[in-house]
Amino acid sequence: MNLVEKKILVGVSGSIAAYKSAVLVRLLVKSGAEVRVLMTHAATEFITPLTLATLSKNPVLSTYASDDGIGQWNNHVELGLWADAFIIAPATAHTLARCANGLCDDLLTAVYLSARCPVFFAPAMDLDMYRHGSTLHNIQRLRSYGNILIEAEYGELASGLVGEGRLAEPEILLEALQRHFNHRPVVAGKRVLITAGPTQEAMDPVRYISNHSSGKMGYAIARTFAQAGADVTLVSGPVGLDAPDAAVRLVKVRSARQMLEASQEYFAASDLVVFAAAVADYAPSEVAEQKIKKHEGTFELNLTKTPDIALMLGRQKRAHQLLVGFALETENEQENARRKLESKNLDFIVLNSLNDPGAGFAYDTNKITVIDREGLIRHFELKKKEEVAQDILDIITEKWSEA
């Protein structure tokens, strides 16, 4: 994941929304980041330093010197140089004003003025405070200094009013940091089409033919490319997953025919197409209008082939496009993958095997081999699917950089 070993400072100021900082810290640590927390005095009245110290696995700092009688100095300059990113969440109107005007009356603001890393502000306050001219002026000034604002959200506020001013949810804050570290200039603005998940081919109003695909791999690829700056469209079969990223255009379909039609709509304008969906190979020749009743003995079902989406779109491929396919095999793996790469006019084929423990459907991990048109073979170890998506991003970035 792209926050592994990143050094993140989390600043917490005095707002009822400070409780969300605990979730943010947990998510950052879970993503592999090293986290240190700074709190204003007012923030400690809303959430205890012990909570954030336990979650971050580091002492929480709020004063220039420790209060243990030893007189240890919390060096604001060292903290500012240590961090790869500094996110202040929640950022109250008071904290925004102090930072915008260079007021340096506590450790958090001193570290802000010393920081050489990107600084993110996530405001939280009541709607009239958020709309006030002085707050808007302070936000504009902070942006002019190169800081990054994570907009407050619309919703019910602590006052009981409804409007803008809610601190963005911790998952959104995490995505903002991931997008920053994952951003790649060569990927920015590229149009990427990804298919994911299974398809369901109806037998009757109740039953269907499908497979065990969870969609996790395709969704991880969509998230990774979106955070790198690409314009991502994800055509997804039925899965039990949340949208991968707020920036991803999610098109939900059910059948192979619907997936083909949705993919055709975006294909011509795409720079990269990743066929990560597990499309059902066959569908019932006829769909019963009523539920098929159970009979004694055997039951026969006539099947017909579904559209081969990668094959059909591969025939329409343009010179500037890159096409990536997936091959899940159980035997003659590389031979079958190469045949698929050639027959469907792909640039890369991502091979995984059901013979590898931890790879394939439903797992959070995958083990892949990537083969390109020139015959280059890249082998990768078993990894989390988010890390596999990063490997695929690296390969495509390298290809685009060469071009």
Helix (H, G, I), strand (E, B) or coil at 332: coil
Instruction: Using alpha carbons, list the distances in angstroms from residue 342 to 90, 139, 329, 333.
Output: 53, 54, 16, 14
DSSP output for 156-190: E-TTS-EEEEEPPPHHHHHHHHHHHHH--TTTTT-
Strand partners, 124: none
Residues with Cβ within 8 Å of 186's Cβ and at least 6 positions away in sequence, in order, are 397, 400, 401
Per-residue burial over 365-378, b = 16 or more CB atoms within 10 Å of its CB, e = otherwise: bbbbbbbbeeeeee
For residue 291, say whether it is annotated as part of any ligand binding site.
yes
274 forms bridges with which residues in the sheet?
A: 194, 324
The terminus-to-terminus CA distance of the chain in angstroms comes to: 26
Q: Is 252 annotated as a binding residue?
A: no
Whole-angstrom distance, CA of residue 270 vs CA of residue 272? 5
Is 326 annotated in some ligand binding site? yes
Tokens linked to 303 = 């099947």
| Three-class SS state of 43 | helix
Structure tokens at 46: 């809303």
276 token code pair: 């990560």
Specify which residues 73 forms β-bridges with: 65
281 marked as binding residue:
yes
Residue 22 CA to residue 25 CA, distance in Å, equals: 5
* 294 assigned binding-site residue: no
Catalytically active residues are 211
Binding positions for CTP are 281, 291, 326, 340, 344
Binding positions are 281, 291, 326, 340, 344
